[in-house]
Amino acid sequence: RLRLAVLFLLATALAITLAGALFLHQLRDDLDDTLDSGLRDRLADNISDLAADGRLDAFEPREEFTFAQNVDGTIIAATPDARGLTFTPQQRERALDKEAAFTKVINGHSTRVLVSNAPLGGGREALVAVGTRTAIADDAIERVQAALIVMGPIAAAVAGIAAWFLAAAALRPVEQMRREAAAISEHDPDRRLAVPATRDEVAALGTTMNHLLDRLHVA
């Protein structure tokens, strides 16, 4: 019973861990897709403005994260919180091809960034990026993670306790057979074990033991 309960507890803990990790990964992807959807509209507006006159309108003091630079790296315009943005070669390549989305710590804040290319006059191109902080999404992830950390062990423990009682119930007929077999002596050789009508392995064991007793009696 103890081995079955421990194995069931460990299997449940492993299943909860894998399912929780998969759920957190999927939740993060869904939250990133939601952020990207809003950023894509802002990005399209900025690209349209830049393509129209080669510049972006002056930013308000609390303007949302916006960044534009020439392909050679010179900054065209940037809000104060976006001036620390840099691109890896892979991100730059994806942005020039179509668009790149990534999460990066900028000025101490986790930020979701969407960057794409914008045509300029004379066949030139620029990179335009917009971003938003991921604090709300990160808080949602942390809440779910905390719930899994608290509830996961509780669920595994409940599963282990339930397995203990289920194993006890499943093995009770076997223990009963053992007592009956121990009680059979040479003085009552015609006595046989009570076989449950369950048609399972326990019933098969009782039938086999009764056949053995029959053969011993004949011998």
Mean pLDDT of 76-91: 86
Q: Residues 143-183: pLDDT tens digits?
A: 999 999 999 999 999 999 999 999 888 888 888 888 888 77
Whether 87 contacts 68, CB under 8 Å = no
pLDDT tens per residue, range 92-115? 899 988 899 999 998 888 999 999
Lowest mean pLDDT among 30-34, 43-47, 121-125: 121-125
Residue pair 35/41 in contact (Cβ under 8 Å)? The answer is: no
Identify the pLDDT of residue 215: 87
Q: What is the pLDDT of residue 194?
A: 81
- E strand residue ranges, 14-160: 66-70, 75-78, 99-106, 109-119, 125-133
Round to whole Å and give the CA distance between 47 and 129: 9
pLDDT band per the 50, 70, 90 thresholds, residue 125: confident
Residues 78 and 63: their CA atoms lie apart, in Å, by: 10
Task: Give the count of beta carbons closer than 10 Å to the beta carbon of residue 218.
Answer: 6
Q: Taking residues 6-15, report their average pLDDT.
A: 93
Mean pLDDT of the chain: 86
Residue 122 confidence (pLDDT):
67
Please report, rounded to a whole number, the percentage of residues in the chain having pLDDT higher than 90: 40
